[in-house]
Amino acid sequence: MFKLNLHKVRELRKEKGLSQEDVANMLGFKTVYPYHRKECGQQSFTAEELMMLAQIYGVPYEIFFTPVIAKNEIDRGSA
């Protein structure tokens, strides 16, 4: 299972020297607020938005995801 890494989304935006407003405009939002909510985890990104972010940042979309290990797998490994 994988989880969206919002820290990576924010980090890449900052590395490119873009503001939330810049990215919001590139994604077609009328204001920065919807993008801010997504980057802060209050609202989910759509698959299309993540693909667009990957294109904007010049990275593969997979970079936005972190593998999640289930607790029972962790427990099993320590037994």
Domain ranges of the chain: 2-77
**Whole-number pLDDT of residue 68:** 86
Other Cβ atoms closer than 10 A to 45:
19
**At residue 15, does pLDDT exceed 80?**
yes
Among candidate residues 34, 21, 27, 17, the one with its CA nearest the CA of residue 54: 27
What is the pTM (predicted TM-score) of this model? Answer: 0.82
Cα separation, 37 vs 76, whole angstroms: 37
- State the average pLDDT over residues 18-31: 98
**Whole-number pLDDT of residue 69:** 80
**Whole-number pLDDT of residue 78:** 54
**Whole-number pLDDT of residue 64:** 96
**At residue 28, does pLDDT exceed 70?**
yes
Return the CATH number of the domain spanning residue range 2-77.
1.10.260.40
